[in-house]
Amino acid sequence: MIDTHIHGDARSGEDFKEMYLSGIDAAVTCAFYPYKIDNETVLLNHLMRILNYDTKRAKEHGLDLKVALGIHPANADTNSELIYENIYRWIENKDIVAIGEIGLEDLTENEYAVFKRQLDIADETKTNVIIHTPRKNKKEVLDEILNILPEHISPEYVVIDHINPNVVENVISTDYTLGLTVQPQKMDKYEAISILDEYGFDKFLLNSDISNKESDPLSVPKTVRELAKQGFNQKDIDKIAFKNAEKFFKF
């Protein structure tokens, strides 16, 4: 199994061990600094910690931790040029599987500028992006994201994450890959399964988004096991468990 969106820097080694023992072989850890930053060096240190430290911690417990790095909208108020320079370097060195997570939250001027610049870098370098959609005002923000994307990047490189039953109709007819997050206060496994049951398995990735907030590091295997318990086709289960992720991220 592959958990396609976590924040490994916020989690313990014990979580990595539990994930591995539950059948998760790999996970994609994304950038998000949960505190106010006004210094780009602090943000760069955070990103470097993910790349050079958290990957090693996970490996000690058997988990292959892939890395997505970028500027989360919550961190969009820093001077970003230093981060952009490093994103280019990480892509060139094949250190990262995506730029992420990026997106919009409060629809500020800085968020728009940082989001569009990172999309342009991704399009220029043919790099995947993991796009954040917020808990609050999700539909409004998602509409803004959907207006911006066609002007900056090809759909083949995009996963729009944290899609839930309230907004899936807005994106299901697009060519984007869609992320389903099973996390307390976001969506439970039964809601995720209802989406898969209605719309099929081909467009979706599955993740836990474990972070500094209330999370379940085993939500991916719990959802996969529930799919099996309910009698879904094993080939479809394999798509959401790992095959779609392998195809999108080119593992």
Residue 85 belongs to domain with CATH number: 3.20.20.140
Q: Measured in whole angstroms, how far is the alpha carbon of residue 81 from the centre of its chain?
A: 23
Per-residue pLDDT for 38 more than 80? no
What tens digit of pLDDT does each residue of 158-192 get?
999 999 999 999 999 999 999 999 999 899 999 99
What tens digit of pLDDT does each residue of 201-231 get?
999 999 999 998 899 999 999 999 999 999 9
Structural domain of residue 73, as residue ranges? 2-249
The predicted model scores a pTM of: 0.96
SS3 220: helix
Predicted confidence at residue 78, as pLDDT, reads: 85
Tell me the C-alpha distance between 131 and 223, whole Å: 22
**Concatenated DSSP letters for 119-151?**
HHHHHHHT--EEEE--STTHHHHHHHHHHHGGG
Return all residues near 2 (Cβ < 8 A) that are at least 6 apart. 24, 25, 26, 27, 28, 220, 241, 242, 245, 246, 251
Return all residues near 111 (Cβ < 8 A) that are at least 6 apart. 73, 76, 104, 105
Q: Tokens 């899609």: give the residue.
A: 163
What tens digit of pLDDT does each residue of 23-36 get?
999 999 999 988 77
Per-residue confidence band for 74, with pLDDT thresholds at 50, 70 and 90:
very high
Q: What's the total number of domains in the chain?
A: 1
SS3 152: coil
